[in-house]
A and B are shown apart, each in its own frame.
Chain A
Amino acid sequence: MLTTSRRDLLKIGLRALSAIGATSVAGRLSQVNALAQTPCPSDYKALVCIFLFGGNDGNNTLIPVTTPNSNANNSYAKYATVRGGLALAQSSLNMIGTKAGDQYGLHPGLTEIAGLYNQGKVAVLANVGTLVTPLTQQQYLHQTKSIPVNLFSHLDQQTEWQSSLAQGFATSGWGGRVADAMQSCNTGKLPIIVSVGGNNLFATGAATNPATVTAGQILGLQGFSTSAASTARMTAVTNLLGFDNGLTLVGASNGIGNSGISQATVLSQALAGGKALTTVFPNTSLGSQLQEVAKIINVRAALGMQRQIFFAYLGGFDTHDKELTDQATGLTTVSQAMNAFYNATVEMGVDNNVVTFTESDFGRTLQPSGGATLGTDHAWGSHHFIMGSAVKGGDLYGSFPTQVLSGPDDANNRGVWIPQTSLDQYGATLATWFGVDPNTQFGTVFPNLANFSTQPLPAFL
């Protein structure tokens, strides 16, 4: 008997990609039913996730300078001592202050982000990361509580950041589950989530799958006309997209093809009627993606959208070497693209309705790794940005880790921060603003959140 049993496949899934397990189709559908949204809000809101692939080094993203209120043990000098050859010059930092009066520095490449922070449009969440449950250093070291699976592995930590399920076994992303909860509020045909960054777990719900758009690519099938021959050829294509002879992979390919064609049709019709935006976006991968997001938000009414979620990304943050140059390139790209996107939301009059936030695999070791050019290795908790006029910006949320190797926040000996805020709490604040009901829907959207019930959510929105 050659047919692989479902049970075997589940095991294969676990082996090959630890965090992708499986839930039965029936189980998934019952989750969907639990998430039906009533009543629907009348306003427009969008969440935009920017995933920084590779693990952005939070330690050189946000640097403590004078921080008596948030962590009196930290100072620029202590940071610089451990960072050694990777320490950013204090004079090069974009200085920002907290409401409590502390002084931090943002990476020199984050000039625009610092400007938006100082205007109150950007908040920073310190030391957020993957957690199953709150974890003290002793609990981690003695493994007396549940620890995220495969810490320090890119793929697993990306999956956990995208799914919010740090124990692994995820089949859906938290963005997708938020979409499940809110999708009934849209009247249009386009999925609630649009990924401009390819397939990803974040955007995959139990019931919803993202539309995908490749920035700059022509939408729809090319090479067809209204001639009889062309029409017949299109009919043949359409008919074959409905025919799989019972073969699952053929059916999957057909389903994806049909989705692509219908999404392209809906989007191209709506975009054709959109007024061109005057905001200039940087000519970078992320700039192009966020420009595409802005174009789609701009035609939200034509698309029949009350709620939308977007996924964009930038790679290149796995800075094992050449960190000083490579991270500067990456963060400058992020800063300029996010700034342009914020300006576009102002131009469209939706800056109060769109919240943009960052995610990344993990932070990086505070201690550098040696070589001809210095870099850092994989770590854990890191710092992230939330942007939008609805954000209670100009402030630092969360708990900033003590910059000492083997210190109170270190998971080992290299400056690997045990997160003090979980991704679930980060996401729950965003989802609450978006309209997800904490009382009835968080159990499905953020299953681990209940483990943090004694802690308030970070209040950046």
Chain B
Amino acid sequence: MRTAQLALASFLLLPSALAQTVVTITPTSAEVHLGTYIQFTAKVTGAPNTTVAWTVALPAGATGSPGTISTGGLYNPPATMPSVNTVTVTVTSIPVPTASASAPVTLDNPIPTVASTSPSSIQITPFLLTVNGSGFVPGAQVVLGGAPLTTTYVSATRLTASGSVLPAGPRATVVVSNPAPGPATSTGAVTVLVGSEGPPVISANVAARFLDQAAFGPDVDSLAHVRAMGLLPYINEQLTLPISPYPDPSQTSQGLGQVIARFFSNAVHGRDQLRQRVAFALGQIFVVSAVEESTPAQLVPYLQILQNDAFGNFRTLMEDVALSPTMGEYLDMRNNDKANPAAGTLANENFARELMQLFTIGLYQMNQDGTPQYTSVGFLPPTYDQATIQQFAKVYTGWTYPTKPGAVLQKHNPAYYLGPMVPFESNHDTTSKTLLNVLVVPAGQTAAMDLKAALDCIFTHQNVAPFISRQLIQHLVTSNPSPAYVGRVAAVFYNNGNGVRGDLGAVVRAILLDSEARAADNTPFSLTLPDTSGHLREPVFVIPAILRGLGAMVNDTNNLSAQAVNLGQTLFSPPTVFNYFAPGYQIPPEFTPNLTLLGPEFQLHTPSAAVARFNMVNSMIYGNLGAGAVIDFTPFSSLGNTPQAVADLVNARFFRGMMPATVNNELLRAMNAVTGTTAAAALARAQAAIYVAVSSSFYTVEH
């Protein structure tokens, strides 16, 4: 009976609705760069059925693609500019097709990006530069050190430019400007060295090994630079270099593709290699995952925190992470309500638990060298108990997403990711809380006061220094650091020499310059190495390392992340807050019969993943990676009719000049079976040698 009445009512409404249905579109006009997107919304008034359909069209007579628009009003411009740079987006009421609204959209040229130049240094005039990047259009202009160069358009990812005046040194910035419509200039940190590196002060062997730890492996330029500077000056320079940025979320497509591609182009070409390595390591401790934080708007601000804080103070990082709306969403601190007796709910424990268990202090009381404290009966004393978690959970109540510009703060703000979370005080639990080491936070404090007290409480816990130092060592240098090594680094974490606790730049310097990190310098790949040294290259590291060794040109159109997926590592998407692998993962004893060793990265390295790693090398060396990652084998293939010369170059590029004779012999075996002296044969020999070398365990495991 009730159903029938409702049906009758809506039927009676329909005729009047027909006459009054009005559709409006927001925004009413727009301008959008190719390669980005824009969200339209529609409002339907006067009709009970508000469903709409979206279309996009070129003006009559124009040619090309108008782009696409989703059923939700998300407009993606075409990949290339149509014959005219305007399209019309139209939204139409489905029940009342006569009701519609349109918005003109002006299409602008893409926003160009620069990834690298070749050569990377200039000494004489006139000079010719090849600029590798993306989003280039005919008419694009290369500007070097502020001076425009004579530019030739080659492709959307390649320009060439010539100049007859050397810019001021020692480094000149390279940018590219696209012409109208919508002229735009690249941002970034790509520079060209004006002049030459100074004479080497350390051996290639030491510099190359160091760059496996402090960078994504050596390339020709960084090797010369480290050799000319020495390790400590190089680290100090790295601490101050400009950040290779991730793309601004407003200047990307809606998916993560460009952000992921940028990780690889930065990893291969960025000068701030150490910052990128440390930021990525910190991101594997303070984990958020694109499994849930899947858009640039969510993920990029978080990646920026990791980059900005990589060499800052750990306490700053703790607070920036705690108040990150992205982390707030991932571990549920945003919109964490204080206990509500009426609804029968208690504060959410998720962030409270993982901040301590995974990000700062771990589960057991530690000595300063990272070893566990044992009680007299061999029991491992825990750092906290469930009651402590519930107390911390109360601290983290009351915070919500940042308030959007123009909006009013609410208890539960709508999702928004720019800036830190904000408190809604009446949703904060103001009762007193008893935290670690029986620190009592008094009742009646604000959300910010409680948060500061809690973060200070955790930051001063004795475990933080060894817990973080040990994991950073594992990510940068070795899976199995000695307690003494951990202790030396932890001591720097406690005090950087100037009385400052938590100075990550000083910690990173201590990790890389420690005697244990440097012990295998100048040492061949044999048992003269400490057998506990080194670690497996994780999938997203081995790809840029190979490309750097080969001198490849990578830009923002690359799809290199696909190569890592088969190896079990989808970039930015660890399965859970426990990262891709655990710091305490022990390699199955079947594979380490004489020694019990931890191997965090080995957790991903299943037998089938090991096969996939060979196949990844196969597709890199023999396949086509597309315009986003171009390998020029000429330096190797030009030696291809002299197999030992190829082997020597492979040794220099991938084995720091210490390649075992057995590996050398196997490279020769693979090369010598290729007959002929043609260019194709020379290339085949070079590829065979590279395949055998970089697929081997001597390369895959970094010592």
Contact = CB atoms under 8 A, between A and B. Distances in A.
Chain B binds chain A: yes
Interface string A144-186: 0000011111111000000000000001000000000000000
Given A214-B609, A217-B566, A252 B586 contact: no
A240 B348 contact: no
In this complex, the member of B336, B345, B618 whose beta carbon has the largest number of chain A beta carbons within 10 angstroms is B345
B529 A247 contact: yes
B443 interface: no
B345 A374 contact: yes
A18 interface: yes
Contacts of B587: 249, 252
Contacts of B603: 198-199
A34 interface: no
Contact of A14 (B337, B372, B585, B591): B372
A254 B606 CA distance: 12
A378 B354 CA distance: 12
B11 to A, nearest CB: 29
Interface stretch (A204-212, A273-281, A425-433, A452-460): A204-212
Nearest to A232: B673
Nearest to B597: A248
Given A4-B482, A18-B363, A239-B666, A54 B576 contact: yes
Contacts of A204: 588
Contacts of B249: none
A181 B483 CA distance: 38
A23 to B, nearest CB: 9
Question: What is the size category of the interface that chain B forms with chain A?
Answer: 35 or more
Interface in A366-398: 367-372, 374-375, 377-378
Given A9-B480, A378-B349, A222 B615 contact: yes
A405 B532 CA distance: 50
A11 B369 CA distance: 11
A256 B331 contact: no
Interface stretch (A70-78, A131-139, A296-304, A315-323): A315-323
Contact of B673 (A28, A83, A156, A231): A231
A370 B591 contact: no
A245 interface: yes
Nearest to B400: A372
Interface in A1-52: 2-4, 6, 8-18, 20, 22, 25, 28
A324 interface: no
B669 A236 contact: yes
B592 interface: yes
Interface string B660-689: 101100110110111100000000100010
A260 B609 contact: yes
Interface string A402-436: 00000000001010000000000000000000000
B548 interface: no
B2 to A, nearest CB: 18
A195 interface: yes
A261 B609 CA distance: 10
A370 B590 contact: no
B346 interface: yes
Contacts of B662: 239-240, 243, 245
Contact of B345 (A22, A207, A247, A368): A368
A230 B692 CA distance: 11
Contacts of A235: 669-670
Nearest to A9: B596
B655 interface: no
A213 interface: yes
B607 A253 contact: no
Interface string B320-355: 000000000001100111111001111111100100
Nearest to B691: A233
Nearest to A253: B697
Contacts of A248: 531-532, 592, 594-595, 597
Interface in B530-586: 530-536, 566, 568, 575-576, 578, 582-586
Contacts of B578: 154-155
A28 B589 contact: yes
Given A199-B604, A252-B592, A154 B525 contact: no
B337 A240 contact: no
B347 A198 contact: no
Question: What is the size category of the interface that chain A forms with chain B?
Answer: 35 or more
A264 interface: yes
Interface in B593-623: 593-599, 602-615, 618-619, 622
Interface in A190-241: 195, 198-199, 204, 207, 209, 211-214, 217-223, 228-229, 231-233, 235-237, 239-241
Interface in B457-491: 470, 479-483
Contacts of B531: 3, 246-248
A241 B701 CA distance: 13
Nearest to B587: A252
B698 interface: yes
B357 A153 contact: yes
B577 to A, nearest CB: 8
Contact of B337 (A255, A367, A371): A371
B519 A2 contact: yes
A85 interface: yes
B353 A378 contact: yes
A322 to B, nearest CB: 9
B695 interface: yes
Contacts of A252: 587, 591-592, 597, 599, 602, 701
29 contacts: A2-B530, A4-B532, A13-B586, A14-B380, A16-B470, A85-B343, A150-B363, A195-B606, A209-B588, A217-B608, A235-B670, A240-B698, A244-B697, A245-B525, A247-B526, A249-B479, A249-B535, A249-B587, A250-B703, A251-B591, A252-B591, A257-B610, A257-B613, A257-B697, A260-B606, A260-B607, A372-B412, A412-B386, A414-B346
Interface of A: 2-4, 6, 8-18, 20, 22, 25, 28, 53-54, 81-85, 149-156, 171, 195, 198-199, 204, 207, 209, 211-214, 217-223, 228-229, 231-233, 235-237, 239-241, 243-257, 259-261, 263-264, 315, 318, 320-321, 367-372, 374-375, 377-378, 412, 414
What 10 pairs between A and B have smallest CB-CB spacing?
A16-B584, A17-B584, A370-B337, A232-B673, A260-B607, A370-B345, A253-B697, A212-B606, A236-B666, A223-B618
Given A18-B584, A252-B591, 16 more contacts: A2-B482, A2-B533, A8-B482, A10-B596, A15-B372, A16-B583, A18-B380, A152-B353, A155-B582, A229-B673, A232-B669, A232-B670, A257-B610, A257-B697, A315-B576, A412-B386
